Amino acid sequence: MVLEVRHVKKSFNGRAVLDDINFSVDSGECVGIVGRSGCGKSTLAKIIARLINYDSGEIFIDGELQMIFQTPEDSFNPRKTLGWSIAEPLRSVKSDKLSVVSDLLEKVGLPADYAKKYPHEVSGGECQRAAIARAISVNPKILICDEATSALDVTIQAQIINLLKKLCREKNIACLFITHDLNLLPKIADRVIVLHGGKIVEENSTAEIFKAPKSPFTQELLSADLFFQNLQSLPIFFNAR
C-alpha cells in the first residue's frame, strides 16, 4: 500500500467540501476519482499532495509523490527551458544530468533536443509529456493526475493515457487519475471512486462500475450524453492492464 486516506474532512467558509473520505491505493494500481464539478475531487488531490491543509483525518504516503496538472504550461517556468525544469528535482543528485534528462525525454516519447525548448515552443501534448518526465525523474511511488488530459484533444488524450499506463506498469507506480470524463476510466483505471457532495458514494472495480453501478449518482453520471457518445468503444478497454 502506497497511499491510505483515513477519515479526511475539509471545509471552506463553513461549507463541507470533503466529508469522512476513506480509501487506499496499492503499488502499480490506478484508481480513478470522478464526480461532477464541485464534488471535491480536485480539493482531495491538493490535500494528498500537501498543497492545502485538511481539517481532520490522517493521510499515509509510502515514498515520493508527484503531481501532474491540467495545464502543464502553467507548471513550468516560462523563462527556463524544459530541460532545466525536468532537471530541477535532480539538483542534489550527483550524476550527468544532461544524460538523465535525455533519458527521461526518451521515456516519454520526446527527442533529446526538446531539453533546449521553452514551454511556449511546444504543443500542449508535448508539454504534458515533459511534465510527466519531470514527475518520474525522482522515481515516485505514486502519481496524482488532476484532470491531466482534459486540456488536450481526443487523439493526444489517448497518447498521454497510454504513456501513463505504460510508465506505471513498467515502474510499478500507483496512480490517482482524477477526471470528470468517465469515458477515460476504462482506458486506464483498475478501480473507480465516485464522489458526490464531498462524500464517496461508490467504490468498485472499473468493470463493475460500468456494468452495474449501484449509486444513483453514478448511474446519473453514466447516463450523461458525454458517456454515451463513446459507449460502443468501452468493451475493448476493460482488460487494458
Residue ranges per domain, the chain? Answer: 28-53+140-156+165-241, 75-138
CA distance 79 to 49: 25
pLDDT < 50 stretches in the chain: 225-229, 231-241
Amino acid 85: pLDDT: 94
Q: Hey, what's the cell of 225?
A: 450524453
Res 107: pLDDT: 94
pLDDT given at position 240: 41
pLDDT at 241: 41
pLDDT of residue 95: 64
Under a CB-based contact definition with an 8 Å cutoff, are residues 230 and 185 in contact? Answer: no
Tell me what pLDDT residue 73 has: 87
pLDDT at 94: 55
Contact between 113 and 130 (Cβ < 8 Å): no
> What's the order of all strands across the beta sheet hosting 174-179?
65-68, 142-146, 174-179, 30-34, 191-196, 199-205
CATH topology of domain 28-53+140-156+165-241: Rossmann fold (3.40.50)
Percent of the chain with pLDDT over 90: 76
Say which amino acid occupies 188.
I
**What is the chain's mean pLDDT, rounded?**
89
pLDDT at 239: 41
Query: pTM for the full model?
Result: 0.87
DSSP codes joined into one string, 142-198: EEEEESTTTTS-HHHHHHHHHHHHHHHHHHT-EEEEEES-GGGHHHH-SEEEEEETT
Report pLDDT digits (tens) over 8-27: 999 999 999 999 999 999 99
